[in-house]
Amino acid sequence: MKQPIGSALSMAKDIIDQPRSDGWISSVQDAVAAIRDFAQIEFNVPSGPDSDGFLFQYCEVNWFSESTFTLGFVRQMELVGAEVEHEGYL
């Protein structure tokens, strides 16, 4: 059953909060496992090719005491208006 888009954040938090060997996501393997679990959830989005997907970004940041390489991910889902037209992304 497809889930409402509005439930995506709470579902992602539930996955992140799942018990792990050391209590939280602390390795690349844990992060990839959480991403894969989240990717398995189907949301009520249009059937187009770009209506549900993951974006990955990586960069070196300088807001820590030393330059640090970071990796982030976002799941982007298309929102449609009442007239079934593209309204934006969540």
The yes-or-no verdict on residue 56 having pLDDT over 70 is yes
Contact 37, 14 (CB under 8 A): no
The single-letter DSSP state of residue 40 is T
The yes-or-no verdict on residue 2 having pLDDT over 80 is yes
pLDDT confidence of residue 23:
65
User: Could you report the per-residue pLDDT of 30-52, keeping only the tens digit for each?
Assistant: 888 889 999 999 999 888 888 89
Distance in angstroms (rounded) separating the CA atoms of residues 59 and 71: 7
Contact 68, 48 (CB under 8 A): no
**Which contiguous run of DSSP H or E holds residue 19?**
none
pLDDT confidence of residue 25:
75
